Amino acid sequence: MDVSAATIAAAATTEQGLRLLGAGLAAGLGVVGPGVGMGLLFGSSIESIARQPELRGEIRLNMFIGIGIIEALALYALVVALILLFVVK
Amino acid sequence: MRLLKRIPLWGWAVVLLGLLVGLFFIPGGHKATFDVSGEFILHPIIRLPKLGPIDLSVTKAVIYEWIAVGVIVVVALVIHRGLSPRPSRFQTIVESLYELAHDGIAGAVMKGEGAVTWFPYIGSAFFFVLMCNVVGLIPLPFGTGHQLAFYAATGNINVTITLAALTFVFTHYAGIRQKGPVGYFKSWVIPAPPFLKQFIFLSDVISQIFRLVSLSVRLFANMLAGHFILAVFFAMVLVFQSYLIGVVLQVGSVAVFLFEIFVAVIQAFIFAILSAVYIGSALEEEH
């Protein structure tokens, strides 16, 4: 991002401001849900490993699948923010 | 020399603190601007003709993919030449990666014959995505003006959507080959009251199409966001005008780079295992 004073002044229209605000809200609020979901996932997987340590490998496998799917949701929010920043004029 | 040995630990802490405070007061260099998104624009290097809407020119992403494939081929040939029952360290690493793909991914998720038939695709996808991600963390002279720069081939939506499209095609091909075309689509219907049956079938169709999107966007966004953060951390020293923040940012850059290595391996693993889950679920008998 160009941070010289001229470009900051040029970007100061309402459209541009709302666009940046939308990008910030998308990236920020979009990771609340997946964050809570990740916490629940790790909590329950650690608890179940503690209950039955011999199933460690299976639980770890399913945990990684869960991580991949939940993280994808958080990244959709980031992709929306990137689209607002770089693709929408 | 003996005097240096007699300085206690808190003495060294005072020296370090003094150095950091001194760095704060040194006047920094002049402010420079940087454009993070410039690295992600692709210029064709060898111009090839367009085939309809698809441009066949060789760009930076294509060369990085060739480098990844070249690394895999060279490693495979070297290991094949020197296979020994008392493996060297290099052979142990490659063997454990292969075992992860064969037993950990294909064998653990797909049952029996499906694992044997589809392991070539799952293993290739795993190694290709892994090598593309890891080669993206090595600075190579493809930046603007032949500078050293990072670039991940999988940080380009075209590459990841091709890989996801391969998984998509193979999923339905495996299901249709095993159960016949009508039987495969019938397996998406579960016994339910009549109005609900159509709705469940429709939502199954939508979720199958959405798998294409999610598989590609997950890998693409992870790699793109990772390299963005990497570029911002490495170049942020130019924005602040102080040496103290420069030292702190170097530590932060190392931490972010280590995290990027972790993300690279995990994303390859997740892509391969989700492909295996999708193909396995198309092959399984009962619903």
Per residue in B167-206, pLDDT tens?
999 999 999 988 888 888 888 887 778 888 888 888 889 9
Per residue in B196-239, pLDDT tens?
888 888 888 999 999 999 999 999 999 988 988 888 888 887 77
Asked whether residue B2 carries a pLDDT value surpassing 80, the answer given is no
pLDDT at B38: 62
Q: Is residue B8 part of a domain?
A: no
Q: Which residues of chain A have pLDDT under 70?
A: 1-12
Query: Cα A14 from chain centroid?
Result: 26
Q: Is residue B151 part of a domain?
A: yes
CA atoms within 13 A on the CB side of B236: 16
In angstroms, rounded to a whole number, what is the distance separating the alpha carbons of residues A2 and A14? 19
B225·A86 Cβ contact <8 A: no
Would you list which residues of chain B are within 8 Å, Cβ to Cβ, of chain A?
33, 35-37, 104, 108-109, 214, 217-218, 221-222, 224-225, 239, 266-267, 269-270, 273-274, 277
Mean pLDDT (chain B) is 85
B218·A71 Cβ contact <8 A: yes
Contacts B218 to A, Cβ<8 Å? 68, 71-72, 75
Instruction: Flag whether residue A65 sits within 8 Å of chain B, measured between CB atoms.
Output: yes
The candidate with the shortest Cα–Cα distance to A31, out of A78, A69, A64, A67, is A78
The torsion angle over the Cα atoms of residues B147, B150, B153 and B154, rounded to 10 degrees, is: -160
| Structural domain boundaries enclosing A36 | 5-86
The answer to whether residues B120 and B276 touch, using CB atoms and an 8 Å cutoff, is no
SS (H, E, C) chain B: CHHHHCCCHHHHHHHHHHHHHHHHHCECCCCCCCCHHHHHCCCCCECCCEECCEECCECHHHHHHHHHHHHHHHHHHHHHHCCCCCCCHHHHHHHHHHHHHHHHHHHHHCCCHHHHHHHHHHHHHHHHHHHHHHHCCCCECCCCCCCCECCCHHHCHHHHHHHHHHHHHHHHHHHHHHHCHHHHHHCCCCCCCHHHHHHHHHHHHHHHHHHHHHHHHHHHHHHHHHHHHHHHHHHHHHCCCEHHHHHHHHHHHHHHHHHHHHHHHHHHHHHHHHHHHHHHHHHCCCC
The torsion angle over the Cα atoms of residues B105, B111, B116 and B121, rounded to 10 degrees, is: -50
Of A68, A75, A86, the CB nearest to B274: A68
Q: Is residue B51 part of a domain?
A: yes
The candidate with the shortest Cα–Cα distance to B71, out of B155, B149, B143, B128, is B128
Q: Is residue B4 part of a domain?
A: no
Per residue in B35-89, pLDDT tens?
666 666 677 666 666 666 777 778 888 889 999 999 999 999 999 998 888 888 9
The complex's ipTM? Answer: 0.76
Residue of chain B whose Cα is closest to the Cα of A58:
B108
pTM: 0.84
Q: Is residue B279 part of a domain?
A: yes
A38: domain CATH number is 1.20.20.10
Number of domains in chain B: 1
pLDDT at B186: 82
Query: Cα B68 from chain centroid?
Result: 12
Q: Is residue B6 part of a domain?
A: no
B214·A78 Cβ contact <8 A: no
Tokens encoding B118? 């589809």
Percent of chain B with pLDDT over 70: 89
Number of domains in chain A: 1
In angstroms, rounded to a whole number, what is the distance separating the alpha carbons of residues B193 and B209? 25
Instruction: Flag whether residue A79 sits within 8 Å of chain B, measured between CB atoms.
Output: yes
| Structural domain boundaries enclosing B147 | 42-283
Beta carbons within 10 angstroms of residue B231's beta carbon: 19
